[in-house]
A and B are shown apart, each in its own frame.
Chain A
Amino acid sequence: MSIDVGKIKKDFPVLQRSINGKPLIYLDSANTSQKPASVMDAMEDYYRKFNANVHRGSYQLANEATAILEGARDKVRSFINANSRKEVVFTKNATEAMNLISNTWGRENLSSGDAIVLTELEHHANIVPWQMLAAEKGFEIRWIKIDDNGHLDLSDFDQLIDGAKLLSFAAMSNVLGTFTPVQDLTERAHELGMVVHADASQYTPHSYTDVQALGIDFLTFTGHKLLGPMGIGVLWGKESLLDSMPPFLGGGEMILNVTKEGFSTNELPWKFEAGTPMVAEAAGLDAAIDYLSNIGMNEIRNHEIELTDYALEKLASEFGETISIFGPKAANERGGVISFTFDGAHPHDISQVLDEENICIRAGHHCAKPLMQVLNVGATSRVSMYLYNDQADIDALVEGLHKVRNLFTL
């Protein structure tokens, strides 16, 4: 069953906004998604009716606030089909979740002479934390290359993972939209006893996520790309691994006991949640998951395939050889993300001209500079779609791009 975009659009207050009499065409959801009213209501509701610090109070208000936070954890657990709520750790964002892995599991397990494997598709958040640790510990970082269509080139995969301890990769590329073969890579890495992390920041908002079926050891994503608020992210990890890891940030909440001599850590998941958590954001994330679940992740994915297919065809037919579209050719091999360059107009200029039409797309390196180097471009323009986009948005984009063409062509 296809989704009713007209109805969905009405649920997102910001999409009702016009600037200079032009409706907002939002095509930057890979950057951050817009939020339905139900998410804002849940957050406001929390502060209006329930605000108290969690896990500490002995009064009803505090108990209710705690129930909101822990209820959101249960919601996430079920959304990604985790085995246990103990495996769901709230972080500030996906970046912090990845820094948590590198600073705890990484610091404990990686040393000079070791190797980890990343891919050329990675966002800086899955590169820099490892580079920081490598600078300190002296382990090697190996890279899985991509082929001309933006898929991982696995021809030397066995060689690359040989002797490596960690495989960490994006389940979906934020630049090319490529879906990587998570299960296949994980199985092969597990045969060698490696630990596997999937950065699902782009994947989980757009595709049904089942951590048990995927088989990975760690999964990270952020709330704000899946209709939730900024300020909350998720680290999911297998309980046995999380158990074996030292704590990340120290402070309140993450301890069981503290004396002048030292401390003992709290049980999972709170061992990794130092300090007062983001309760309103958790309430927002909970509502976002409800919203997505009511529509259905598979329905959303199918809608995005259809829309991506339409956009790819439309861009190619309208602009022919003057547009270079990166990444997989087929819409069903990619998420709703299309990066491109345009002859004669720089990405920054393209987004500037589109902005005049109130069309929001991203220009730049998309926090993936190593990938830009591989693609041999300084920057790309990126259009990214979600459940509230429709063909009319793509038509507006195409019209805007004609305006760009007229301005910049000799």
Chain B
Amino acid sequence: MSSLDDLYKEIILDHYRSPRNQGELPPPAHRCEGFNALCGDEIIVYVSLIDEKIEDIKIGGQGCSISQASASMMTEIIKGKSVTEAAEIIHAFKEMMDIYESELSGKEAESSASGIDLGDLEALQGVVKYPVRIKCATLAWNTLTQSIDEIQG
């Protein structure tokens, strides 16, 4: 398996070609923009939060396969979760994407330290080998974090 196959796993290309939950949510859903200063990619995360639960989430903007696939998978795992559950998932994902952590512990993709099953998202672990691309993978997640922070004041 070449290293490219490791990065561009079929599941990632699938989400890139057919992104889930793409579009906008009208107000009062919260809208938050994120930028990758490095490459100019821009993502817009729309979150509808009702009674501490993420009722709906949509993604706008444009970006590379890694950022788009990561955003698409994020919406699938986050939709319907409570804010607390979302925070745990975000934490687990970021831990997986942390190059130093994964190098030190040498842990396998299947077992995240916090015991949360990231499902398809674990396909993104190959990105860690390409430090420049980590920012692509985490763009949507950082924007979602910012969005939740803004909603909760």
Residues of chain A touching chain B, judged by Cβ–Cβ distance below 8 Å, are 345-349, 352-353, 356, 363-365, 369, 372, 378-379, 407-408, 410
Contact = CB atoms under 8 A, between A and B. Distances in A.
Contacts of A378: 39-42, 62-63
Contacts of B16: 408
Interface string B62-76: 111110100000000
Q: Quick one: which of B8, B42, B65 has the most chain A CB within 10 A?
A: B65
A348 B64 contact: yes
Contacts of A349: 8, 64-66
Contacts of A408: 13, 16, 65
Interface residues of B, number: 22
A379 B4 contact: no
9 contacts: A347-B39, A347-B64, A348-B41, A349-B64, A378-B39, A378-B41, A378-B42, A378-B63, A407-B4
Contacts of B97: none
Interface of B: 2-4, 7-8, 13, 16-17, 38-42, 62-66, 68, 130, 133, 136
Contacts of A364: 38-40
A356 B136 CA distance: 18
A346 B40 CA distance: 12
Contacts of A345: 65
Nearest to A363: B39
Contact of A356 (B2, B41, B62): B2
A365 B4 contact: no
A365 B40 contact: yes
A408 B10 CA distance: 10
Contacts of B133: 348, 352
Q: Quick one: which of A345, A365, A378 has the most chain B CB within 10 A?
A: A378
Nearest to B42: A378
Given A407-B4, A407-B8, A379 B39 contact: yes
B2 A346 contact: no
Contacts of B42: 378
B13 A352 contact: no
Contact of B40 (A353, A372, A407, A410): A372
Contacts of B4: 352-353, 356, 407
A348 B136 contact: yes
Given A348-B64, A407-B8, A356 B3 contact: yes
Given A348-B39, A356-B2, A364-B38, 15 more contacts: A346-B65, A347-B39, A347-B64, A348-B136, A349-B8, A349-B65, A353-B4, A364-B40, A369-B40, A378-B39, A379-B40, A379-B41, A407-B13, A408-B13, A408-B65
A379 B64 CA distance: 10
A347 B39 CA distance: 9
* In the A-B complex, the 5 residue pairs with the closest CB atoms: A365-B40, A346-B64, A348-B64, A364-B39, A379-B40
A363 B39 CA distance: 7
Contacts of B39: 347-348, 363-365, 378-379
Nearest to A20: B3
A378 B64 CA distance: 10
A356 B130 CA distance: 12
Contacts of A379: 39-41
Contacts of A372: 40
A363 B130 CA distance: 15
Nearest to A353: B4
Contacts of A365: 39-40
A125 to B, nearest CB: 16
B100 to A, nearest CB: 22
A408 B2 CA distance: 16
A352 B6 CA distance: 12
Given A346-B63, A408-B65, A352 B130 contact: yes
Nearest to B63: A346
Nearest to B39: A364
B2 to A, nearest CB: 7
Contacts of B68: 346
Contacts of B130: 352
A286 to B, nearest CB: 34
Contacts of A356: 2-4
B120 to A, nearest CB: 19
A379 B63 CA distance: 9
B70 to A, nearest CB: 13
Contacts of B38: 364
B5 to A, nearest CB: 9
A394 B131 CA distance: 28
A365 B68 CA distance: 18
A379 to B, nearest CB: 5
